[in-house]
Amino acid sequence: MSTAIVRPGKLRLAFLGDSITVGDGDWQARGWPSRLCEASRSIPEKKHCYNLGVGGDRIANLASRASSELSARFEGRNGRGVVIMIGVNDALRAAAIRNTIALDLVSIEADLNSILNNAKRYGAVLVVEPTPVLPEFQHADGMDGKAVMAHLDVINQLLASVCKAQDVTLIGLTKTLQTDPLFIIALQNGDGLHPIDAGFDCIAKHLLASPEWSAFLEAAAND
C-alpha cells in the first residue's frame, strides 16, 4: 500500500495511454488506473482519476491530443498529476509483416518530448513502460510476439533516454510483467496483447508497490 503523505484536498490524476490503459479485455471494465487509484489509500478522499486511454493510439496520436486532454481537466486547478503509458501500438505497427512501417525514432523522440512537455505544464509526471505481449502472439497482419517485443525494447530504450533528459521518472514495467506468472496467465486467457482482469490487477499491484508511485502521489498532491 502506498505510504505517501499528502495534504487534504482534491487530487486530479490523468492517465494517458492506449487500450491497455482504457482496460480492453478487463471483464470488470475498470482498467489498471482505477484499481491503482482505489488501492492508493493515501490519496485524498476527494479525487478525480481520469482514464484517458484510447484504443489503438500510437505515440504520435497521443502527442496530438495530450495538450487538449490535459488543459480541459487541469487548467487553473491545483493537485495535478499525469501518468503516461504508451508505445505498444508503435511496436505492433513496426512488427506487421504486411505493409511494414519501420520505427521512425526521430519522430517518436520528438513526439515523446512533446507529450512530456505538455504534461509537465500541469504538475507531477510519471511514465510507465508498456506492458509486454506473449511471444506466441499472432495478429491478422502477420506479426508475431517476438518481433513486437524486439521493437518494444527499442522504444523502451528511447523512452528511458527521453525521460532522463526531461528529468521525468520512468517505471520499468515491461520486464517485471514478463516474469510475473499471474500476468502471463492473464495474457494467455486474453488475446496475447490484452490480459483479462487479473492482468490489470497485476499492473496496479506492481505500480502500487513501487517507491516511484508514492513519490509521484506526494508531488502531485502538493503541486
pLDDT digits (tens, 9 = 90+) for 165-187: 999 999 999 999 999 999 999 99
Confidence of residue 96 (pLDDT cuts 50, 70, 90): confident
Rounded Cα–Cα distance for residues 83 and 194 (Å): 19
Residue 74 has which C-alpha cell?
487541469
Question: What is the set of domains in the chain, with CATH numbers?
Answer: 11-221 (3.40.50.1110)
Rounded Cα–Cα distance for residues 34 and 21 (Å): 10
* pTM, rounded to two decimals: 0.92
Q: Which of 143, 49, 169, 41 is nearest to 90 (CA)?
A: 143
Q: Which of 17, 54, 13, 18 is nearest to 34 (CA)?
A: 13
User: Average per-residue pLDDT in the chain?
Assistant: 91
Q: Under 8 Å CB-to-CB from 165, ≥6 apart: which residues?
A: none
Greater confidence (55 vs 40) lies with: 55
pLDDT tens, residue by residue, 5-21: 444 468 899 999 999 99
The span from the first CA to the last CA of the chain, in angstroms, equals 22
Rounded Cα–Cα distance for residues 33 and 53 (Å): 10
Rounded Cα–Cα distance for residues 133 and 96 (Å): 14
Cβ distance 103 to 156 under 8 Å?
no
